[in-house]
Structure 1
Amino acid sequence: MDHAYAISTLEAFLVRVNNHLSLIAQWESAWEWPKAPDDLLLQEVQARRIENAYKPGLGDYEFTVNEQDHWDAARRAAIGALGRASTADEYAAFLRPTSPSLAADALHPWVWEPAAPLWAAEAHQDAVLAAARTVNRRLQQKLNRHGIGESTLCMQSFDPTSPTEGKPRLRFDGDRDTPTWKARQEGAKYLSAGAFLGIRNLAAHEEQVTWTQQEALEYLATFSVIARWIEECTVEIAT
């Protein structure tokens, strides 16, 4: 529901209603009371629909022959709807289940330490790039492999097949004969490679990305997961 539209419409309606009631109050006899102009009657139709949208039946006050009573009822209904529209967002937030928050400084240190000063300067793209580069360097150092592209290195490092000469592997703990272990290796292989292809490369080669702060934080979290996997795994070399 467009609460801003509802608030604007109801406020404009209330101004007109109050003005009309002020005119009515200037006359003692009901026979002398001015009738509502057509444009006010049109505004009332809009207001009634909005009132019923916020509370079914709120806008269904009865038309009366008494002009003052009618517009008093219209005023009360509009105020009731305006109160609901004005507090709708706060009320929804109050009722929304409390969600967990992601603490950036609790991300893996390979990610947050290089990213922190850039993030503080609101250079979120550079922060993600710095984190990705650091994770790649740590992977290179752990495997003693340099001069190879990040995504290719990830694909080879987590590959569940046996290591070959010059191409060591990263291995999670656990029973390697189980589907779970094999799935974890394959998952790490493709997620890590995909992160460098889809996140790091974009941050490095686009002059300016359109990431929101939330999106950039999620990308940092992705590299944090990869960093934890790299640190957790043991290195297996060809024998």
Structure 2
Amino acid sequence: MEDQRKQGIVKELKEFLEISKSKWMEDEWGDGGDWFFQFDYEEIEAEVQIVELLLDRALPSWQKGELTDSNSPPFELQRRGCRRAIKWLEKQEMIERLLEPEAPQLSASTLHQWVWDAARSQWASGHFRDAVSAAARVVSNRTQQKVDRRDKSEWNLIQESFSLKHPEERKPRLRLTPDDGGDTFKNLHEGAGFLAQGLFRGIRNPSNHDVLPELTENEALEQLAAFSLLARWIDKAEVVRAV
């Protein structure tokens, strides 16, 4: 419920609490009495239906467990509901924040070692875009080392290394699972290649060719996490060479 609407409901409920105050007064003979109101009873009675509609919207359970008896002052049920609803509306945001599941935290130090070791020094000095670029370079270099190739780099090399084609002379392949010709094998390896293409073309290359604004720390961490995933796949993949 947006703040303006919430504030309007709270205002109406507080006004009802004010006009519906009553006081028990004994009669002059001392053998009975009645409830007396500061405001006109008929005005209060007319407001009750409005208040109940607001309570139904703000706190649907407002009548739950609430009982009154013949000794209770008039409108006591609605007054109790108003007090409960006002407290809820005034503290709703805080309560929902306290009760929501705790969001997982990502620490840069838990990223793949290739990525974080490369990014660490630039990150510490607040050069977040440079930190991501450094991590990308290391992922590329590590791939070159793993497949023992220097003729290609970055996404071109990674995509070719994860190619579904059988290994060729001086063109080994990276394999996350054995080639059984199934959809899982195809999806994993094509996915790894496309991820590499997206990361290098969408993140690494623009930073190389243009002067771009500095990344926020959160944006940079997201990008490092993406390169970390790619690095893990490359690191754990088996190198398969032509026989």
Give the TM-score taking structure 1 as reference length: 0.66
Residue 51 (1) aligns with residue 39 (2): no
CA drift of 1:132 comes to 1.9
Amino acid at match of 1:169: P
C-alpha separation in 2, matches of 1:50 and 1:118? 56
1:159 alignment partner, SS class: coil
Aligned identity (percent) is: 30
C-alpha separation in 2, matches of 1:133 and 1:176? 29
1:186 alignment partner, SS class: helix
Do the aligned partners of residues 90 and 147 (structure 1) sit closer, same or farther apart at CA in structure 2, a change above 3 Å counting? Answer: farther
C-alpha separation in 2, matches of 1:51 and 1:125? 52
From 138, 147, 154, the equivalent of 1:143 is 147
2:227 is matched with 223
Do the aligned partners of residues 34 and 53 (structure 1) sit closer, same or farther apart at CA in structure 2, a change above 3 Å counting? Answer: closer
Amino acid at match of 2:229: V
The CA RMSD measured in Å over matched residues stands at 4.4
**Bigger Cα displacement from structure 2, 121-130 vs 188-197:** 121-130
CA drift of 1:105 comes to 1.2
C-alpha separation in 1, matches of 2:57 and 2:232? 50
CA drift of 1:130 comes to 2.8
From 174, 193, 197, the equivalent of 1:171 is 174
| Gap regions ≥5 residues in structure 1 | 60-67
CA drift of 1:157 comes to 1.5
Do the aligned partners of residues 9 and 209 (structure 1) sit closer, same or farther apart at CA in structure 2, a change above 3 Å counting? Answer: farther
C-alpha separation in 2, matches of 1:136 and 1:10? 59
1:171 alignment partner, SS class: strand
Q: Report if the CA contact (8 A) 2:115-2:227 is conserved.
A: yes
Do the aligned partners of residues 51 and 149 (structure 1) sit closer, same or farther apart at CA in structure 2, a change above 3 Å counting? Answer: farther
Do the aligned partners of residues 177 and 17 (structure 1) sit closer, same or farther apart at CA in structure 2, a change above 3 Å counting? Answer: closer
C-alpha separation in 2, matches of 1:69 and 1:121? 68
Q: CA-to-partner distance for each residue in 1:2-29, whole Å, 9 max, x for gaps?
A: 3x3354224444664576579x99xxxx
CA drift of 1:170 comes to 3.3
Do the aligned partners of residues 88 and 154 (structure 1) sit closer, same or farther apart at CA in structure 2, a change above 3 Å counting? Answer: same
1:208 is matched with 213
Give the TM-score taking structure 2 as reference length: 0.65
Structure with bigger gyration radius: 2
1:78 is matched with 82
Residues 23-172 of structure 1 mapped to structure 2, 5 A cutoff: 33-34=38-39, 45=50, 49-56=53-60, 58=62, 76-93=80-97, 95-97=99-101, 100-120=104-124, 123-146=127-150, 148=152, 150-166=154-170, 168-172=171-175
Q: CA-to-partner distance for each residue in 1:149-205, whole Å, 9 max, x for gaps?
A: 522122212112134455x23322653234243443222222222222233345554
CA drift of 1:84 comes to 2.0
Q: Name whichever structure is richer in helix by fraction.
A: 1
Q: Report if the CA contact (8 A) 1:158-1:170 is conserved.
A: yes
How many residue pairs match? The answer is 224
Do the aligned partners of residues 33 and 55 (structure 1) sit closer, same or farther apart at CA in structure 2, a change above 3 Å counting? Answer: closer
1:208 alignment partner, SS class: coil
From 194, 198, 207, the equivalent of 2:202 is 198
**Bigger Cα displacement from structure 2, 223-232 vs 10-19:** 10-19
Amino acid at match of 2:155: S
